[in-house]
Amino acid sequence: MASTQAQATTQRVTAENGIEYAYRDLGESEVPLVLLQHFRGNLDNWDPALIDALAAERRVVTFDNVGVGATSGTTPNTIEAMAHDAIAFVDALGLERIDLLGFSIGSFVAQEIVLIRPDLPRRVVLASSAPQGAPGMHGWAPDVIGAVGGREPNPQGYLDVFFAHTDSSREAGNAAAQRIFGRTTDRDEPTSWQTRQAQYDAVADWGIPNYALLERVTAMDLPVFVANGDSDPMILPRYSHLLAGLLPEARLKLYPDSAHGFLFQHHEDFAADVRAFLEEAD
Amino acid sequence: MASTQAQATTQRVTAENGIEYAYRDLGESEVPLVLLQHFRGNLDNWDPALIDALAAERRVVTFDNVGVGATSGTTPNTIEAMAHDAIAFVDALGLERIDLLGFSIGSFVAQEIVLIRPDLPRRVVLASSAPQGAPGMHGWAPDVIGAVGGREPNPQGYLDVFFAHTDSSREAGNAAAQRIFGRTTDRDEPTSWQTRQAQYDAVADWGIPNYALLERVTAMDLPVFVANGDSDPMILPRYSHLLAGLLPEARLKLYPDSAHGFLFQHHEDFAADVRAFLEEAD
């Protein structure tokens, strides 16, 4: 069995919905931690240092959702459909109780999974997140979508959004990029333009302002750890406050000198916080 | 002119609404800071140490709103009416631009003043606050209203709600109580049962759950400092997060080892934070 994410090979499982999901599976624990990836990210886009730090004490499952990377099918254009697709994957692995860690659009999917199938998740980590209907997040700011939404890869744009505009954060960003792009064998498939378009449609739909929809997350009756970088330009830290104010049982941490990719930059601290949060339920 | 709150005499001014308001006025600055008091509080219930620390660099005006303490009239039973009453007092003093610091029910009144007359306040401090319509705050918890809502004064109940259940916070609570009750001359009138009933009606009305009303505070288009104790049982810290998530321009600080009366316990730190916040606009 692989002992680091860099060695973890991509596995496949076919679910009841006929989709063949690509995933990686590392570490051991009774309740596995299932991760939900960011906009346009595939298996390789998880910082291996973060996955290794989490997997030191837990079973950590990363996967490509429908239409993403090496998983078959077409990426749907709503968060709700993505949540059903993620549940189908979890069912295909035979998992009946999981912890969830959703990052960015993955954190929207995590919320929806909790609402659709409340008995499945035990605890949830929402990284760089926001509740559906929150005002001011209908699509990302022009400089943000310009940086990460183009047809061609834009490493500088990625750094600009995922890391704060300080020397220390940029240095951490370059180190994370080296870890992420350092893998040479068994790399995942790149995500397609279809995935980009469908995911951004879903993000826009999630961000249509609607104060009544803020009530939805009050049904998330389980412990939630809300986390973000203090300078995230993609999903502003104020939405983490909003979640912490609405959720029945939330704790909040904003990590210093960091942006959307705070969990890669502060991978050791964040993984320690996540492990401590999950261990309370073991 | 008095140089400490303990020496400040009670003054009177009659407003256009025919009400004679009791107030105290300390320190000097171009834009005065007007304070809005907590449930059942009168002029004496402001910790003199807090007022002195604020007035070291600013003009600080404390007053009894309509029907409260030595001010004439009958206490109204809505936050909106209290806001109009406070505006009438400010107008009577001839103030055209003020900073506001509202504490507890006074922070609800402060929000309403900003919404009713947005050109009047420059900056606002909301201490132990919550937005109208927030879920879960329809009336105070039974042990809280039991402790502070009775017909007879209940010093132990006050300590239980205003201070955390730690030795350090209790010690701070006893010290604050000694300062508050140490004044022997020119004490204010006690607040009446009519005031208690009307204010609690207004608090219950403010707390009727209504997610649509959460949108109201997004119209507060000015810098807001949201502050609370980390263990406030009367207005939970989650509502400070909710405010910070909804307000266009908020900063948030939760003070450690403290409860509803965090601003008395941490009077030096809190006054320094407030002064720094207001000085940015001077």
C-beta separation of A112 from A126 below 8 A: no
Q: Which alpha helices (DSSP H) does chain A contain, by range?
A: 48-55, 79-92, 105-116, 142-148, 155-162, 167-181, 193-206, 237-246, 262-265, 267-279
For β-strands A121-127 and A224-229, DSSP reports them as parallel
Q: d(Cα A206, Cα A195) in Å, to the nearest integer?
A: 16
pTM of the model: 0.93
Q: What is the distance in angstroms between the Cα of A242 and the nearest Cα belonging to chain B?
A: 4
pLDDT of residue A3: 83
**Tokens 């006690």 belong to residue:** B190
Measure A224 CA to nearest chain B CA, in Å. Answer: 13
Beta bridge partners of A36: A102
State the nearest Cα–Cα gap between A213 and chain B, in angstroms: 8
Q: Quick count: other Cβ atoms within 10 Å of Cβ A1?
A: 8
Name which of A212, A218, A239 is nearest B245 (Cβ-Cβ). A239
For B91-147, the pLDDT digits (tens) are 999 999 999 999 999 999 999 999 999 999 999 999 999 999 998 889 999 999 999
Q: Do B252 and A242 touch (CB under 8 A)?
A: no
Chain B residue with minimal CA distance to A215? B211
The helix (H) or strand (E) run that includes residue B147 is helix B142-148
pLDDT, tens digit only, all 282 positions of chain A? 678 988 899 999 999 999 999 999 999 999 999 999 999 999 999 999 999 999 999 999 999 999 999 999 999 999 999 999 999 999 999 999 999 999 999 999 999 999 999 999 999 999 999 999 998 889 999 999 999 999 998 999 999 999 999 999 999 999 999 999 999 999 999 999 999 999 999 999 999 999 999 999 999 999 999 999 999 999 999 999 999 999 999 999 999 999 999 999 999 999 999 999 999 999
ipTM: 0.87
- pLDDT tens-digit profile of A134-188? 988 899 999 999 999 999 989 999 999 999 999 999 999 999 999 999 999 999 9
Chain A residue numbers touching B218 (CB-CB < 8 A)? 135
* Residue in A214, A215, A238 closest to B244 by CB: A238
Task: Read off the tokens for B236.
Answer: 């939970």
